[in-house]
Amino acid sequence: MKSKRQLQKESTRQKIIDTAYRIYATEGFSASTARIANEAGVSHGTVFAHFKSLNELLECIIGEFQISLAAEFHDMGESSASVSDFLDAHLKVLIAHEEFYLRLITERSLLPEEVQYVYADNQSTIAHHFNLLLSREIKNGIVKEVPVHMLFNTWLGMIHYYLWNKDFFSPDEPVLARYAGDLKHTFISLITK
């Protein structure tokens, strides 16, 4: 059983992660760790007692976001999933994290290089699941014979375009929830035979 001290430590760490996630989502990655500490109600030093560096904090937050994506694909069960199921699962997670994801794609170049690599590496895992499924559907004669990484990049390209231009597509409400159906159906009609 965990000691009271251990539980306290874990709860403080989680509070820092949750606060940092919220602040980065709403204010962007230029928000300072002092601001995060203040908002979480801990001292600035406490942040660095839990995370060795800013990089470690950022990597942890991006990692947590991408773990939620991986968990979604895992629950789906790759062998029986259809392309539509996969796109739904991807959209579901992105919709839940829209503000944070938008920051991630628009401000990526502001992040430390090592943190950007964590993002890119995790995207590869998502792409890999996507590609396995699409390769199977190409073999089954359902999806057109296009290199699978181009299919993944096209799908991301559509999502990112709507996010980048959220102010035009949906200024007053989250953009992905509003256009999820259009995006999915259009992509599926483009790639299927």
Partner 1 sequence: MKVCIACGMPMEKKSDFPQGDEQKEYCVYCARPDGTMRSFEEAKAGMTKFIMESQGFDESAAEKIAVSSMKKLPAWKDEFSKE
d(CA 72, CA 89) in angstroms, rounded, equals 6
Q: Does 150 bind partner 1 (CB under 8 A)?
A: yes
* φ, ψ at 92 (rounded to 5°): -60, -45
**Residue whose CB is less far from partner 1, 91 or 151:** 151
Identify which range of 8-16, 32-40, 100-108, 118-126 contacts partner 1 by CB under 8 A. 118-126
The single-letter code of the amino acid at 143 is V
User: Tokens for 181?
Assistant: 């159906």
Q: Does 123 bind partner 1 (CB under 8 A)?
A: yes
The one among 12, 106, 131, 170 contacting partner 1 by CB under 8 A: 131
Identify which range of 36-44, 87-95, 120-128, 171-179 contacts partner 1 by CB under 8 A. 120-128
Q: Does 124 bind partner 1 (CB under 8 A)?
A: yes
Q: Under rule CB under 8 A, how many of the chain's residues touch partner 1?
A: 17
Q: Cα separations (Å) of 63 from 59, 91, 122?
A: 6, 18, 8
**String marking each residue 25-64 x if it binds partner 1 according to CB under 8 A:** ----------------------------------------
The single-letter code of the amino acid at 94 is L
In whole angstroms, the minimum distance from the beta carbon of 109 to partner 1 comes to 13
> Which residues are CB-neighbours of 92 under 8 A, at least 6 positions away?
72
Q: Is 183 in contact with 193 (CB distance < 8 Å)?
A: no
Looking at the DSSP bridge assignments, the partners of residue 192 are 143
Residues that bind partner 1 (CB under 8 A): 70, 114, 117-118, 120-121, 123-125, 127-128, 131, 147, 149-150, 152-153
